[in-house]
Structure 1
Amino acid sequence: MKTFNRSASFAVRAARQVALAGALLGAVVAAQAQTNSPVGVWQTIDDHTGQPKALVQISDDGSGALSGKVIKGLGANDQPDRRCTACTDARKDQLILGMTIIDSMKKAGDEWDGGNILDPENGKIYRCKMHTEDGGQKLVVRGYMGISLLGRSQTWVRQQ
């Protein structure tokens, strides 16, 4: 009877270890999927100065579409009351802080596409695509008109 209890005890311990290993593997896979997603807070970089410009929070609206809004301005020239005077849509003269500048991004393979991005500096709205790099620590955001070749890319850095 003692041998049976030892075998049963060993089997229980082994089953627990397998369950723990499975849970850890699931957590690693989930964490990796999350870091390869654009969901999170990103530091944008000014095209002209190369300096940090703003923090943009990208979130999932619950249907799988991503949007991004400005949550903080950075840099010496940041003015929290700055407005989008160049905008021509409903965002005209709205505060840039809190403004949604990325809209309707959908997953398409290894990237997100199909949405648009607003440049609050000139008020123009561009088609947009984006993908992560460096294990999800960088986000390459491309705004373009017509075809993707006619546009520009920025690399944003994930904030923890």
Structure 2
Amino acid sequence: MRLLITVAFIFIAFAKAYSQDITGVWKTVDEESGIVKSHVEIFENDGKYYGKVLKVLDPEAPEKPLCISCDGDLKDAPIEGLVIINDLEAKDKVYKNGTVLDPENGKSYDCKIWLNEDNPDLLMVRGYILFLYRTQTWVRLK
């Protein structure tokens, strides 16, 4: 009986290690310079996933950066606290059917995200229009 319980605990530990989800805080990194630009928290609410900018770290950004290029209610909204990922739905290992806002240009794109298969501490974030897309790699903040 003890062996069965021990095996069950080991199985649960491995399952948790390999089934990490996307929630948590992620570092966004500029692909060209390698500079960390921000921290984004991904969270779940009513079965959908969202991403909120916690902190802008870009050394070239103003002290209190605003979404100058955004439209409507988001026009001149503070980027810190801004929800930039909206309404993602979990479909197997991919989260999709949502949008991502680029605060630098104020545009929203269709979005899907997934964990890197080889490293669950890397999040692949893809914004796209039709068949044109760009994928960024975000790093889990530990």
Same fold (TM over 0.5): yes
User: Per-residue CA shift, 1:105-132, capped at 9, x if unaligned?
Assistant: 1112321110000000000011001111
> Which 5+ residue runs of structure 1 have no aligned equivalent?
1-14
SS of the residue 2:86 aligns to? strand
One-letter code aligned to 1:57: E
Equivalenced residues, count: 141
One-letter code aligned to 1:159: L
**TM-score (normalised: structure 2):** 0.90
Matched, 1:155 2:126: no
* Counterpart Cα distance in 2 of 1:118 and 1:75: 17
One-letter code aligned to 1:150: L
Matching residue of 2:17? 31
Matching residue of 2:27? 43
Matching residue of 1:4? none
How far apart are 1:90 and its partner, in Å?
Answer: 1.9
How does 1:125-144 map onto structure 2 within 5 Å? 125-133=108-116, 134-144=118-128
Percent of pairs identical after alignment? 36
* Counterpart Cα distance in 1 of 2:72 and 2:7: 52
SS of the residue 2:19 aligns to? helix
SS of the residue 1:77 aligns to? coil
- Whose strand proportion is higher, 1 or 2? 2
* Counterpart Cα distance in 1 of 2:136 and 2:68: 23
- Whose helix proportion is higher, 1 or 2? 1
* Counterpart Cα distance in 2 of 1:157 and 1:22: 31
Matched, 1:105 2:91: no
> Which 5+ residue runs of structure 2 have no aligned equivalent?
none
* Counterpart Cα distance in 2 of 1:27 and 1:48: 37
* Counterpart Cα distance in 2 of 1:24 and 1:80: 48
* Counterpart Cα distance in 2 of 1:131 and 1:83: 28
Asked whether the 8 Å contact 1:73–1:79 carries over to 2, the reply is no
How far apart are 1:20 and its partner, in Å?
Answer: 3.0
Structure of larger gyration radius: 1
Matching residue of 1:72? 55
Matching residue of 2:99? 116
SS of the residue 1:90 aligns to? helix
